Structure 1
Amino acid sequence: MTSLTLLEYSANAFFLSSVFLAARNHRHTWTLGIIGCVLFGVLFYQVQLYADATLMVFYIGTSVIGWQQWQRGGAAAEIQRTPWPMLGLFSLIAIGTLLGYGYILYLNTDAYAPFADSAVLTFSVLAQLLLMKRRLETWWFWLIVNTVAVPLYASRGLSLTAIVYVGFWLNACYGLWRWHRELRAECLASEPA
């Protein structure tokens, strides 16, 4: 087994565990995620997916913050919806960043698929920020990220990672369903009798 393959297997193992725990609204998603991010950062840099490598640095920092935030509170009671105007603004910022960063990578690096790579970066940042705040809409953005990531990673020969991201796509569906159910149960429990 080559070192790149071993790195890919290891990164995916940690990331799979982390993502599954996120859908279950479990705080240990963050600690396993940090290890996976370090491994994926090295892997993505080696295959010239620089925006994804940059994303891993962001994930490490936000994972530390997310871990601290999730340590403080309860589970389902903290899941909330994001107001539509705020969600629209965040989406516009993400699209603008995608186009700007993709163009910078296109002009100044040997990046492979700079705009698709930047889409994974920008929508992942938005999804991660929403996840840190336990916002239900995080799962919609993870669905976008995984939809773009699967063919991107497959095109770079990262077959295992592409398959795992199909699993992440399914997990995002599960996370959306589970968090919606938890939020609805919390709302029903808080209604006056």
Structure 2
Amino acid sequence: MLDWLLEGTIAVGGGTLLVREIVGNGFGIASALLGSRRSVAAWPVGIVGNLILFTVFVGGVLSKPQVHDLWGQAGRQVFFMAVSVYGWQRWRQRRARQEAGDGSALVPGWAGRRGLVELALLGVVGMLVFYPTLRALGSWGPLGDAWILTGSILATYGMARGWIEFWIIWIAVDAVGVPLLVRAEYYPSAALYLLYGAFCVYGFVAWLRARRRALAAGGRTSEVTA
């Protein structure tokens, strides 16, 4: 089973796909679905997917089927894991306080002016740092790769804070990620981005409804928490 996961390939058309790419993306879909339900399990499931996908996006170094190294894609798996540890702990604490009252981790809230400024500043800094870094590393499509890395970090951080806007950021990431991954021939990941787009719409609506229910019931919100 381990050899199948590490070295297995599936013939598709005239090429091959890594089993790891498919499995890692499967964990990503599961994490997105759990996140839309505000389940703490979204974080550990996502971390497993991040570990698997990191090895996929450095395929050129590892002499795997893909010939393009997407260092931004690989790097974002590392950032995902770091932010996911923070989000995992934060959601566990909120669930323990029973803020939502429905068994989920939290009541969604809007970022507010302060949160939006925080996200904007982090986004500018991220692009200024990641674009020249990825370009120097020889990443394929460094500008798009830099936005995918930056936006993914912002979205994951926003999710950890319980901000509804993180779904919108994910949609913007998907809009760049799909064509970039198709051109780089990472087809399973490109397909995953399309699925993520659908999940983002679903998740956005689900979080909006959860917030409205909480407000109608006089529940507490997580809006603009420190």
CA distance in 2, matches of 1:163, 1:64: 27
Q: Does 1:64 align with 2:85?
A: yes
User: 1:78 and 1:96, CA in 2 relative to 1: closer, same or farther beyond 3 A?
Assistant: same
Q: Does 1:84 align with 2:110?
A: no
CA distance in 2, matches of 1:95, 1:144: 15
Quote the residue 1:144 is aligned against: 172
User: 1:64 and 1:86, CA in 2 relative to 1: closer, same or farther beyond 3 A?
Assistant: closer
1:5 to 12, 15, 18: 18
**Cα offset, 1:65, TM superposition:** 2.1
Further displaced range: 49-58 or 59-68: 59-68
CA distance in 1, matches of 2:92, 2:122: 29
CA distance in 2, matches of 1:141, 1:154: 20
- Tell me the amino acid that sits aligned with residue 164 of structure 1: L
CA distance in 1, matches of 2:84, 2:105: 19
CA distance in 1, matches of 2:126, 2:82: 19
User: 1:96 and 1:177, CA in 2 relative to 1: closer, same or farther beyond 3 A?
Assistant: same
CA distance in 2, matches of 1:103, 1:110: 10
CA offsets 1:146-186 (integer angstroms, 9 cap, x no match)? 11111111111111111111000110011100000000110
Higher Cα Rg: structure 1 or 2?
A: 2
1:160 to 188, 195, 204: 188
2:71 to 50, 67, 74: 50
Q: Does 1:23 align with 2:21?
A: no
Q: TM-score, normalised by structure 2?
A: 0.78
Quote the residue 2:224 is aligned against: none
Are the aligned partners of 1:76 and 1:183 in contact in 2 as well (CA < 8 Å)?
no
User: 1:98 and 1:19, CA in 2 relative to 1: closer, same or farther beyond 3 A?
Assistant: same
Further displaced range: 33-42 or 79-88: 79-88
- For structure 2, list consecutive stretches of 5 or more residues without a partner in the other structure: 1-8, 11-15, 60-67, 99-103, 220-226
CA distance in 2, matches of 1:135, 1:187: 15
CA distance in 2, matches of 1:20, 1:156: 26
Quote the residue 1:35 is aligned against: 48
2:162 to 109, 134, 144: 134
**Cα offset, 1:89, TM superposition:** 4.0
**Cα offset, 1:76, TM superposition:** 6.8
* Equivalent residue runs for 1:98-137 within 5 Å: 98-106=127-135, 108-137=136-165
CA distance in 2, matches of 1:30, 1:137: 18
CA distance in 2, matches of 1:37, 1:4: 18
- For structure 1, list consecutive stretches of 5 or more residues without a partner in the other structure: none
**Cα offset, 1:97, TM superposition:** 2.2
Identity between Structure 1 and Structure 2 (%): 26
Point out 4+ residue stretches in structure 1 off by more than 4 angstroms. none
CA distance in 2, matches of 1:89, 1:64: 20
CA distance in 2, matches of 1:61, 1:76: 19
Task: Describe the SS at the equivalent of 2:138.
Answer: coil
